[in-house]
Amino acid sequence: MKHHTIPRVIAKLTIPGIILFGLYVQFHGDYGPGGGFQAGVIIGAAMILYGLIFGLDDLRNVAPQKIVTLLVAIGFLLYAGVGVVTQILGANFLEYGVLAHSQKDGQHIGIILVEIGVGITVAAVMITIFYMFAGRK
């Protein structure tokens, strides 16, 4: 699709907006609709759109396959890691209250970290699936 001008220009215009919106959904999930899952899907879709328009090689430069594969695990480990940290601090698994001085601050920190973990895993899995399908030629 590299030689089609209109998809290329539109993609270049919209991809930054899509990623920015994904980040908004990620970090605004406590206040509005959305959260890590939706944000991960949106950012994954932006990367896949990039890959569809500019080709797999360009996408490999932006999101190297090895790093994406690592991120699949890192997101999950971040989520579980928050649980382990709360256990070390003397509370139950995933009981965020102990992460800060007050219960509410702890909840905020915990939820944001956990949602980032969800977002990373979901985005990385989506990009991985695209790599696997698009790489079969």
Partner 1 sequence: MSIEIYIDLVLVIFLVITGLAVIYVRNLFAVAMLSGIYSLLMASIFVVLDAVDVAFTEASVGAGISTVLMLGVLAITGNREKVSHKSSVLPLLIVIGTGSLLVYGTWDLPMFGDPNAPVHMHVAPEYISNTYKHTGMPNIVTAVLASYRGYDTLGEVGVIFTAGIGVLLLLSKRKTKKEVNQQNKLKEKL
User: What are the residues binding partner 1 (CB under 8 A)?
Assistant: 25, 29-38, 41-42, 44-45, 48-49, 51-52, 69, 72-73, 75-76, 79-80, 83, 93-94, 96, 103-105, 107-108, 110-111, 114-115, 117-118, 121-122, 124-126, 128-130, 132-137
Nearer to partner 1, 54 or 96 (CB): 96
Q: How far is the CB of 96 from partner 1 (least distance, A)?
A: 6
Q: How far is the CB of 126 from partner 1 (least distance, A)?
A: 6
Rounded CA gap, 67 and 108, in Å? 28
Q: Is 26 helix (H, G, I), strand (E, B) or coil?
A: helix
Nearer to partner 1, 32 or 90 (CB): 32
Nearer to partner 1, 58 or 105 (CB): 105
Q: How far is the CB of 9 from partner 1 (least distance, A)?
A: 18
Rounded CA gap, 12 and 122, in Å? 23
Instruction: Render 55-111 in DSSP notation, one character per residue.
Output: -HHHHHHHS-HHHHHHHHHHHHHHHHHHHHHHHHTTS-TT-GGGGSSSHHHHHHHHH
Nearer to partner 1, 80 or 85 (CB): 80
Rounded CA gap, 99 and 5, in Å? 51
- Under a CB-based contact definition with an 8 Å cutoff, are residues 97 and 106 in contact? yes
Q: How far is the CB of 64 from partner 1 (least distance, A)?
A: 14
